[in-house]
Amino acid sequence: MSELTHGFRIIPEDCTGCMSCMRACPTHAIRVKRGGATVIPELCIDCGSCLGVCATGAITATTITFAELDRFKYKVAVASPALFTQFGMKDTPAQVGQALLALGFDAVWKYAVDIELIDRAIRDYVQKWPGPFPLISNSCPVVVRLVQVIYPTMVGQLIRIEAPREIAGRELKRHYSQMMGLTPEDIAAIYIAPCQAKTISILHPAEGAGSHLDGAVSISQIYNDLLARMRKAPDGASAGKPEAGAGEWFISGSPEGEFPSLSREHYLPLQGLSDIIKVLNDVEKGKIRNVEFLECHACQGACIGGNLTVENLYIARSKYLRLVAARTDPSPEFLGEVDRRFAEEDFALRAPLKPRNTEGKDVDLRQRVERKKKASEYLKALPLLNCGLCGAPTCRSHADDAAMGRDDIRECVFLSPDRIDVLRDVYRRGGRHGG
């Protein structure tokens, strides 16, 4: 199994071992041993649930810095539509675009064409798909990884179309290399991301192919700088009514979650990881049969509720609705560009999506069966209280860890009462020694 890259890191000296992250993780990927949190890489789906509950800031998102962009001759921002919902009601997308240029980008890519292209491609894909249904959107990297880890038999139902941000990265390199006389390697395609999962989808795409984007900076990372530049702009510069420039960014449906990408009778939009898991459980059991397409976004509010945004979700939603209501009809030039590129481009994923190996390296079927038997035996000896004092979130997780050699079954406080004294000593000394 190749080494997995994840969208966050844990700072050991800031971790108090409070177990909040362990309890929040939907795939049971976090363990708390010796007073500090660690991650089982193959189980992590980069959902960011741990980021949201860490009270000490010991878990931080991974993005790139502007210093890392200096090696490129031309820098282009690909802004998630969520970015434009983070500012005031009178702040227009055009003003945000100008602020991105003032921040140091050489150009801001008009993303609406790519979003419309993928919207059309998804419609066409669903209509031609022979089954089984429902198909599952792959725009949210968390959902893709969730299926790979928890629902491996459903990987084939993930839609095999590139995300719009990847299509944008490919096209802008082609466009600016021709316009500027530069090689594609000289041009940086930088995504302005609303969540850390999309940053990691660039560094380590789930299908294993390289990204057309060169990195991501988060909305929260540049928000204050953008806001300062917008406030310093001369009166009237790119200003106007709230809808000014909105048509360039909010022309059509967005598979990124700001709009439903399909308006079909058998289409189901889902937001929030817990609800997605409930629906996927029902899909796995065969209970959902009359739905053709699930558009799943792990964050409540979809991308405008991403964990690297800054605005209150409901205020951002209000700004979003205002922008959408004010959007203009697409121009003939816009529709012509969509028609031309749709006929010419290949939107298919460059590599197949596969289930993730969660068993470790070089584990054959016989070993997996033996581990399951051993885990079942261990589970019989555990109290099934899921107290977490062993450092695993559930008794079943602890039994699996012991069966795989990750831990000793006697770490359970009910099997080894002196474990309580050890834990007390660990937390008295700051959570990072002993145990």
Higher pLDDT, 68 or 323: 323
Q: Please give the model's pTM, rounded to 2 decimal places.
A: 0.86
Boundary residue ending a domain (294, 313, 344):
344
- Helix (H) or strand (E) holding 324, with range, is helix 313-326
Q: What is the mean pLDDT of residues 309-324?
A: 91
Q: What is the mean pLDDT of residues 127-149?
A: 91
Q: Are residues 365 and 237 in the same domain?
A: no
As a whole number of angstroms, the distance between CA 77 and CA 106 comes to: 8
pLDDT for residue 51: 85
Residue 421 placed within a domain: yes
Higher pLDDT, 364 or 352: 352
Domain span holding position 399 = 8-62+359-428
As a whole number of angstroms, the distance between CA 162 and CA 211 comes to: 10
Q: Are residues 171 and 246 in the same domain?
A: yes
pLDDT for residue 123: 87
Higher pLDDT, 341 or 63: 341
Residue 3 placed within a domain: no
> Given a cut of 70, is residue 381 above it in pLDDT?
yes
> Given a cut of 90, is residue 227 above it in pLDDT?
yes
pLDDT for residue 233: 75
Residue 50 placed within a domain: yes
Q: Are residues 193 and 281 in the same domain?
A: yes
Q: Which of 350, 298, 354, 387 is nearest to 42 (CA)?
A: 354
As a whole number of angstroms, the distance between CA 323 and CA 345 comes to: 29
Boundary residue ending a domain (344, 369, 398):
344
DSSP 305: G
Residue 433 placed within a domain: no
> Given a cut of 90, is residue 393 above it in pLDDT?
yes
Confidence of residue 98 (pLDDT cuts 50, 70, 90): very high
How far apart, in Å, do the first and last CA atoms of the chain sit? 30
pLDDT for residue 48: 86
Q: Are residues 41 and 136 in the same domain?
A: no
Confidence of residue 207 (pLDDT cuts 50, 70, 90): low
Q: Are 171 and 114 in contact (CB under 8 A)?
A: yes
Q: Are residues 308 and 367 in the same domain?
A: no
| Torsion 129-133-139-142 (CA) sign | negative
Mean pLDDT taken over the chain: 85
> Given a cut of 80, is residue 259 above it in pLDDT?
no
Q: Are residues 168 and 299 in the same domain?
A: yes
Q: Are residues 53 and 142 in the same domain?
A: no
Q: Which of 413, 396, 393 is nearest to 404 (CA)?
A: 396
pLDDT for residue 194: 93
For the CA atoms of 12, 16, 19, 25, the dihedral, rounded to the nearest 10 degrees, stands at: -40
Opening angle at CA 57, ends 56 and 58, nearest 5:
90
DSSP 158: B
Q: Are residues 255 and 305 in the same domain?
A: yes
What is the domain-level CATH number for residue 373? 3.30.70.20
Preceding omega of 393 cis (within 30 degrees of 0): no
Boundary residue ending a domain (319, 344, 369):
344
Provide Rg for the chain, Cα atoms.
23
pLDDT for residue 357: 81
Q: Are residues 283 and 323 in the same domain?
A: yes
As a whole number of angstroms, the distance between CA 62 and CA 332 comes to: 40
Residue 396 placed within a domain: yes
> Given a cut of 70, is residue 398 above it in pLDDT?
yes
| Alpha carbon of residue 433 to chain centroid | 34
Residue 335 placed within a domain: yes
Q: Are residues 161 and 83 in the same domain?
A: yes
Q: Are residues 311 and 388 in the same domain?
A: no
Q: What is the mean pLDDT of residues 134-149?
A: 93
What is the widest separation between alpha-carbon atoms in the chain? 75
pLDDT for residue 276: 96
Contact partners, residue 221, CB within 8 Å, separation at least 6:
63, 308
> Given a cut of 90, is residue 246 above it in pLDDT?
no
pLDDT for residue 3: 52
pLDDT for residue 237: 54
Lowest mean pLDDT among 84-88, 202-206, 431-435: 431-435
Count the helix, strand and coil residues of the chain and give each as a percent rounded to the nearest 5.
45, 10, 45
Q: Residue for token digits 């979130």?
A: 393
| Torsion 266-269-275-277 (CA) sign | positive
Instruction: Give percent of the chain with pLDDT exceeding 90.
Output: 47
Residue 354 placed within a domain: no
Confidence of residue 340 (pLDDT cuts 50, 70, 90): very high
As a whole number of angstroms, the distance between CA 413 and CA 401 comes to: 16
Residue count of the chain:
435
pLDDT for residue 180: 92
pLDDT for residue 240: 40
Confidence of residue 224 (pLDDT cuts 50, 70, 90): very high
Q: Are strands 107-108 and 293-297 parallel, antiparallel or unpaired?
A: unpaired
Find residue 32's DSSP bridge partners. 37
| Torsion 55-275-317-171 (CA) sign | positive
Confidence of residue 149 (pLDDT cuts 50, 70, 90): very high
Q: Are residues 24 and 77 in the same domain?
A: no
Domain count, the chain: 2
Residue 351 placed within a domain: no
> Given a cut of 60, is residue 337 above it in pLDDT?
yes
What phi-psi label fits residue 87: left (phi over 0), alpha (psi between -120 and 50 degrees) or beta?
beta
Q: Are 270 and 297 in contact (CB under 8 A)?
A: yes
